[in-house]
Amino acid sequence: MKDLLRQTGTYQSLVESLASQFSGSKDSISNRQIDFPKPWLRGLPGASISYLLSVLAADFEDKSFLVVLPSQDEAEKVIQDLPAYHFEEAYLFPEWQNFLYDGISPTKKVVAERLICLHQLLKKDRTVIVTSIKALMHKILPKSILESALLTLHIGDEIDPDEVLEQLLRGGYQRVDLVEVKGEFARRGDILDVYPLTADTPIRIEFFGDEINAIRFFEPASQRSMTNKIGDRLDSITLSPVREIIL
């Protein structure tokens, strides 16, 4: 099926347009990068958008994509359909909806999805982001502020634990006695527990003085470290803020 799609004239024209976008060609006179028109697609029903995106992602396997849909419902549908076409590396960049106008805080899920997308862009790895027009209309954090709000820790690093706590508080984390939900952290002696919004499992960071001795996942129900599976122990962890407003 994918080979049949690749043989159509419409798909080949789209590939040529994207290749021009990715080429970084410059004007011979001004030496400025040529701004080629962005491809616009319409008339694709159902899961055909996800199918097309999976083929394009395979043909441009080292390139990033920003896919903009008319609404968030359509963007979410694309994300849901992509795994059926053996592509699970796309991220949803959700809109704020009415949170900002109603004077209430957005859900942790919305903040987490947005921060994951922004973090992926900062890493400059191949990224496929699916979003809506409305989501792109809101301003986001300047790159420099977001970079300063991210804290990456490696085993063997030397850093004052109090400095880590201060950054967590600035990023909106709540200090508690026991970490159970996302956005919380707790410190007991040389052990720092933290549950980032962008993680599925809370993290335990063990210090020896100012040196990071171990980083591992732990089970919030039992509060016990997870050490039985490959991947339970980490070499490093990046702690993101729990909000896009950094104090």
Give the start-end residues of each E strand in 97-202: 128-132, 151-154, 174-175, 184-188, 191-194
> How high is the pLDDT of residue 246?
65
Q: How confident is the model at residue 68 (pLDDT cuts 50, 70, 90)?
A: very high
Asked whether residue 49 carries a pLDDT value surpassing 90, the answer given is yes
Asked whether residue 192 carries a pLDDT value surpassing 70, the answer given is yes
Mean pLDDT of 56-80: 93
Asked whether residue 181 carries a pLDDT value surpassing 70, the answer given is yes
Residue 61 carries which side chain, given as an amino acid letter?
Answer: E
Mean pLDDT of 185-197: 94
Q: Name the helix (H) or strand (E) containing 18.
A: helix 9-23
> How high is the pLDDT of residue 125?
84
> How high is the pLDDT of residue 218?
92
The owner of tokens 């063990």 is 206
Mean pLDDT of the residues in the chain: 87
Structure tokens at 220: 């919030």
Asked whether residue 197 carries a pLDDT value surpassing 90, the answer given is no
Q: How confident is the model at residue 102 (pLDDT cuts 50, 70, 90)?
A: low
Q: How far apart, in whole angstroms, are the C-alpha atoms of residue 59 and residue 63?
A: 9
> How high is the pLDDT of residue 91?
95
Distances (CA, A) of 80 to 20, 72, 112, 203, 213: 29, 12, 17, 28, 39
Asked whether residue 224 carries a pLDDT value surpassing 90, the answer given is no
Contact call for residues 17 and 23 (beta carbons, < 8 A) = no
> How high is the pLDDT of residue 39?
82
> How high is the pLDDT of residue 65?
92
Contact call for residues 159 and 147 (beta carbons, < 8 A) = no
Percent of the chain with pLDDT over 90: 51
> How high is the pLDDT of residue 100?
55
- Kindly report, residue by residue over 113-160, the tens digit of the pLDDT: 999 999 888 888 889 999 999 999 888 888 888 888 899 999 999 999
Contact call for residues 91 and 113 (beta carbons, < 8 A) = yes
Asked whether residue 81 carries a pLDDT value surpassing 90, the answer given is yes
Percent of the chain with pLDDT over 70: 89
The C-alpha angle with vertex 19 and arms to 17 and 21, in degrees rounded to 5, equals 75
Mean pLDDT of 82-87: 92
Asked whether residue 6 carries a pLDDT value surpassing 60, the answer given is yes
User: Does pTM top 0.85 for this prediction?
Assistant: no
> How high is the pLDDT of residue 35?
64
Structure tokens at 205: 């960071």
> How high is the pLDDT of residue 44?
87
> How high is the pLDDT of residue 103?
61
